Amino acid sequence: MISPARAAAFDILLRVARGAWASELLRNLDLDERDARLASELVYGVLRRQAQLDYRVGKPRLDLEVRLALRLGAYQILYLDRIPKHAAVSESVELVKRAKKKSAAGLVNAVLRRLEPGDHDWPDPATRYSLPEWLWVRWVAQYGEQTAAQMAEASLRPPEVFVRAPGAAPGLEPTEVPGCYRALSLPQPYRQQDIGSQWVVTLLEIKPGVRLLDLCAAPGNKTATALELGAEVFACDLHLHRLRDFLAACPRVVLDATRPLPFRQKFDRILVDAPCSGTGTLARNPEIKWRLRPEDLMDLQRRQVAILRQAREALAPGGRLVYSTCSLEREENEEVVALAGGLAETFQRLPGVHAGDGFFAAVIRSS
């Protein structure tokens, strides 16, 4: 018998390996709460610690289904102390049989049975922090080894939960960002939004009635915060169907912001929350680190530069534009601003150094 949580986790990991997003698949799971929680823990744990698990398992050339069953079993044995080892082993054996890889059942059984939890000597930092080698090398070059290690460690931990709330309440701890509270207990009746995402909106210095052009708005987290602060928001995106329903009230425009914008008026505030690699969100979206290629950064940069150039054209005299990403890579941040932003003041939040996801933001004022 395979438990529903493990079967779901295996199927999700298989689909993620083929390009789907774990968070979307987990959101639409048809499981009771306890199973859904375990499935989520397994999926994120395996994706976050993939390089560590593969190293401990030590079997690189196997079919995907077999590798996934081994990672799932190894994660439970090495990192979850409440799961009996025999359950983790036997369910991974059943998972390979269910995936029609019966011939690998003996191997999965033998490999998992010899695994023991406990500290381990890792062969290199990329394995220790479960990051692709190229990403570790570039973080060290950009931030130095100590900060890179803090960022990498943070990407292995489940993200803390932050919410927007009107004031202090049981289970909420205030933060340095106004209106942003750390949720110490769940569930909370308030809308969840990472502290870094809420912080980006503060840089817009929104006052009630100010007109804000939000050029990359979907799914709408920052739009929602700007609306709460009293802005009149024009929410635009290439894929507006991704915009959350609760934003239906504000004007919405489907557009490609790399092209000339369709507005005759200029805006006092503009937010370019650009499409990016998302390397600041590896704790939340761990599949990114296994999917991203170094060459993707230049493609993203071209798009980001094009969007920022169009945005600057729409900024009113005396206006304020915020360019932001949840990327930690300078190609998507400082370089974009240097190529298209003009004079800017830049800010950064780093995972493991600051609370929440990593964010970069540049504030550009019109002359």
Ligand X SMILES: C[S@@+](CC[C@H](N)C(=O)[O-])C[C@H]1O[C@@H](n2cnc3c(N)ncnc32)[C@H](O)[C@@H]1O
Choose, by CB under 6 A, the member of 197, 285, 304, 333 that binds ligand X: 197
Q: What's the min distance (Å) between Cβ of 68 and ligand X? A: 29
Nearer to ligand X, 89 or 201 (CB): 201
Q: What's the min distance (Å) between Cβ of 276 and ligand X? A: 6
Q: What's the min distance (Å) between Cβ of 196 and ligand X? A: 10
Q: Match 């890792």 to its residue by tokens.
A: 122
Q: Which amino acid is at 193?
A: Q
Q: Which of 216, 250, 276, 326 is catalytic?
A: 326
Judge whether 107 and 59 are in contact, CB under 8 Å: yes
Q: What's the min distance (Å) between Cβ of 307 and ligand X? A: 6
Nearer to ligand X, 35 or 357 (CB): 357
Residue whose CB is nearest to ligand X in the complex, by number: 216
Round to whole Å and give the CA distance between 28 and 53.
Answer: 27
Interface with ligand X in residues 252-281 (CB under 6 A): 256-258, 273, 275
Q: Where are the beta strands (DSSP E) in the chain?
A: 162-164, 172-174, 180-183, 211-214, 232-237, 252-254, 267-273, 315-325, 344-349, 359-365
Nearer to ligand X, 107 or 238 (CB): 238
Beta-sheet pairing, 344-349 with 359-365: antiparallel
Active site residue 236: no
Round to whole Å and give the CA distance between 131 and 322.
Answer: 30
Q: What is the DSSP letter of 215?
A: S
Q: Residue 263 is encoded by which pair of tokens? A: 């507005």
Say whether 349 sits in a helix, a strand or coil.
Answer: strand
Nearer to ligand X, 5 or 300 (CB): 300
| Residue window 216-255: x/- pattern of binding to ligand X, with contact defined by CB under 6 A | xxxxxxx--------------xxx--x-------------
Q: What's the min distance (Å) between Cβ of 150 and ligand X? A: 23
Round to whole Å and give the CA distance between 141 and 151.
Answer: 13
Nearer to ligand X, 147 or 258 (CB): 258
Nearer to ligand X, 6 or 349 (CB): 349
Q: Which amino acid is at 185?
A: S
Judge whether 206 and 224 are in contact, CB under 8 Å: no
Determine the length of the chain.
367
| Selected range binding ligand X among 29-37, 65-73, 210-218, 311-319, rule: CB under 6 A | 210-218
Judge whether 209 and 230 are in contact, CB under 8 Å: yes
Beta-sheet pairing, 211-214 with 180-183: unpaired
Interface with ligand X in residues 51-110 (CB under 6 A): none
Q: What's the min distance (Å) between Cβ of 226 and ligand X? A: 10
* Binding-site size, ligand X (CB under 6 A): 18
Task: Provide DSSP, 164-196.
Answer: E-SS--TTEEE-SSTTEEEESSS--SSPB--HH
Q: What's the min distance (Å) between Cβ of 189 and ligand X? A: 20
| Selected range binding ligand X among 14-22, 209-217, 226-234, 340-348, rule: CB under 6 A | 209-217
Nearer to ligand X, 50 or 221 (CB): 221
Question: Which residue numbers are catalytic?
Answer: 326
Binding site for ligand X (CB under 6 A): 197, 215-222, 237-239, 242, 256-258, 273, 275
